[in-house]
Structure 1
Amino acid sequence: MNGRVDYLVTEEEINLFRGPSGLGFNIVGGTDQQYVSNDTGIYVSRIKEDGAAAQDGRLQEGDKILSVNGQDLKNLLHQDAVDLFRNAGYAVSLKVQHRVQVQNGPLGHRGEGEPSGIPVAMMLVPLCAVAMAVAWAIMRYRQRL
């Protein structure tokens, strides 16, 4: 394994409706409280159970929020971002960046003679095809008798 971690980054528009406990998540970050090194962005730190975000299910802890109702969150102080969320109204549109870690190699060391880590499903498909071909050949052979 090369020790490098790869990520798949996607963006999504999420529309939430403010509930009794607000939007149902906490944020961290900002120009005055960087959550990620060399990044002043605003991140989701916690999804509140049974809140609007949890009920919607798409927003995840660790997601970066790029904009709120079309307003960019770049270069904001943390408190300014909090105020923006508080004053966003009942229907709130979030542009969110999801970052998912991608596995780029075997999970651990493999010794000689151990399985290669090929998923079972990848082996089952050709085996099923061979089994079906054999069954078909046997049925055709029996029909000729």
Structure 2
Amino acid sequence: MMNGSAANSQSALEIQLRRGPAGLGFNIVGGVDQQYVMNDSGIYVAKIKENGAAALDGRLQEGDKILSINGHKLENLCHSAAVELFRSAGEEVTLHIQQRPPHSSNGPLGSRPDRESSSFISSLLVVGILSVVVTVFIYRRIKRHTF
């Protein structure tokens, strides 16, 4: 067993995938030039494609951090360099991943921007509706006092 925090040793996982007709079946985000997690330039699984190699295997989850692919560490890489490593990885791919923390079980990390933007849009909608109501109220009030 390797030294390290209990959380890291418990959540580290090696996954072997065979590239299918649609590739490995997941999208990645992150890199030094496109940080996905604040103060972390790591590469993360953004989306698992339905019926893709990763989905059929079932172990890789949205929000997991990919530590290496075929032994190549994904530390301090720009996003495009990480993408190129995945593209050139061959048919059999070995991933070392750090699973997302259990406390984020309300949904995959990759879906948070969708929820946040959905929440933001909902907030804008509420503000818009309130603005219309206030405007109509003021207009009616002014109209009643107009001679």
Does TM-score exceed 0.5, indicating one fold?
A: yes
Deviation at 1:9, TM superposition (A): 5.7
User: Could you say if the C-alpha distance between residues 37 and 94 of structure 1 is closer, same or farther in structure 2, counting changes exceeding 3 Å?
Assistant: same
Deviation at 1:100, TM superposition (A): 2.7
Higher strand share: 1
Which amino acid is the alignment partner of residue 81 of structure 1?
A
Deviation at 1:101, TM superposition (A): 2.6
Q: Give the total of aligned pairs.
A: 98
How far apart, in 2, do the equivalents of 1:7 and 1:75 lie?
19
Deviation at 1:20, TM superposition (A): 0.2
- SS in structure 2 of the partner of residue 46 of structure 1: strand
How far apart, in 1, do the equivalents of 2:103 and 2:37 lie?
19
What is aligned with 1:12?
13
Query: Is it true that 1:66 corresponds to 2:67 in the alignment?
Result: yes
What is aligned with 1:127?
none
How far apart, in 1, do the equivalents of 2:47 and 2:10 lie?
20
What is aligned with 2:24?
23
Deviation at 1:99, TM superposition (A): 2.2
- SS in structure 2 of the partner of residue 15 of structure 1: strand
Largest Rg, 1 or 2: 1
Which amino acid is the alignment partner of residue 28 of structure 1?
V
Deviation readout 1:18-75 (Å, 9 max, x if unpaired) = 0000000000000000000000000000000000000000000000000000010000
TM-score by length of 1: 0.64
After TM superposition, what 4+ stretches of structure 1 lie above 3 angstroms from structure 2?
6-9
What is aligned with 1:52?
53
TM-score by length of 2: 0.63
Pairwise CA RMSD: 2.0
**Unpaired segments ≥5 residues, structure 1:** 1-5, 104-145
- SS in structure 1 of the partner of residue 40 of structure 2: coil
**Unpaired segments ≥5 residues, structure 2:** 1-6, 105-147
